[in-house]
Amino acid sequence: MTTRSNILITGASSGLGAGMARLFAARGRNLALCARRLDRLEALREELLAINPSIQVVIEPLDVNDYDQVFQVFRRFQHALGRLDRVIVNAGLGKGQPLGTGYFHANRQTAETNFVAALAQCEAAMEIFREQNSGHLVMMSSMSAMRGMRKNINTYAATKAGVASLAEGLRMEMLGKPITVSTIFPGYIRSEINEKVEKAPFMVDTETGCRALVAAIEKEPAKAYVPSWPWAPLGFAMRVLPLSLVRRMT
């Protein structure tokens, strides 16, 4: 399998994005990292260069909801590194409230960040990959995409189902071509997005989760449930069980 030397990660200033960046740096990959918080990106770049002084690490501040900036930043990364071999669409938002409780603004922000902004990132990545005639697009979905979810994660789950569908359609289009599309379905991995969640089944720490994510991404699968145990069998169960039973699981 081709080594993906130049990797772009959005939402890289903390959590899973930063964790994956550390592991890719240790593997000798050049990194293009963007997020809203430039100070954190600067600190992360220093940390990554200490891990592996031989790599290139380029950073850019980016709010993925500024769609024009998404395209511009991706192009600047391409020019800085010469090419982009892998783009990990990781930036996302976890807030939301039950529908009809007066929090449309929060649900709308979640929908726009997790789906429309993800679409912009896919468009920007695919423009570059089509020109290069190569590349690996990685869409970070969620196990919550398996079924509709209730209460605070209703909108979040819907957006993650949306990006999974987007990736699958693109994967179908790219069959037989030198552009690979992977959808990653993380289970409960501790990060800033869920730091206030006290009780979640099968939660793993950030480092363990990121190791599993990077291992899965490097294989360039069509789909991966991460960590595979117990989420691969649970994912199947969530898709086929009656909603009354899925409700108890979530």
Active site residues: 156
Structure tokens at 28: 């000798």
CB-CB neighbours of 28 under 10 Å: 12
What secondary structure does DSSP assign to the chain, as a single string? -----EEEEES-SSHHHHHHHHHHHHTT-EEEEEES-HHHHHHHHHHHHHH-TTS-EEEEE--TT-HHHHHHHHHHHHHHHS--SEEEE---------TTSS-HHHHHHHHIIIIIHHHHHHHHHHHHHHHHT-EEEEEE--GGGGS---GGGHHHHHHHHHHHHHHHHHHHHHTTSSEEEEEEEE-SB-SGGGTT----TT-B-HHHHHHHHHHHHHT--SEEEESHHHHHHHHHHHHHS-HHHHHHH-
- Which candidate, 142, 140, 124, places its Cα nearest to that of 181? 140
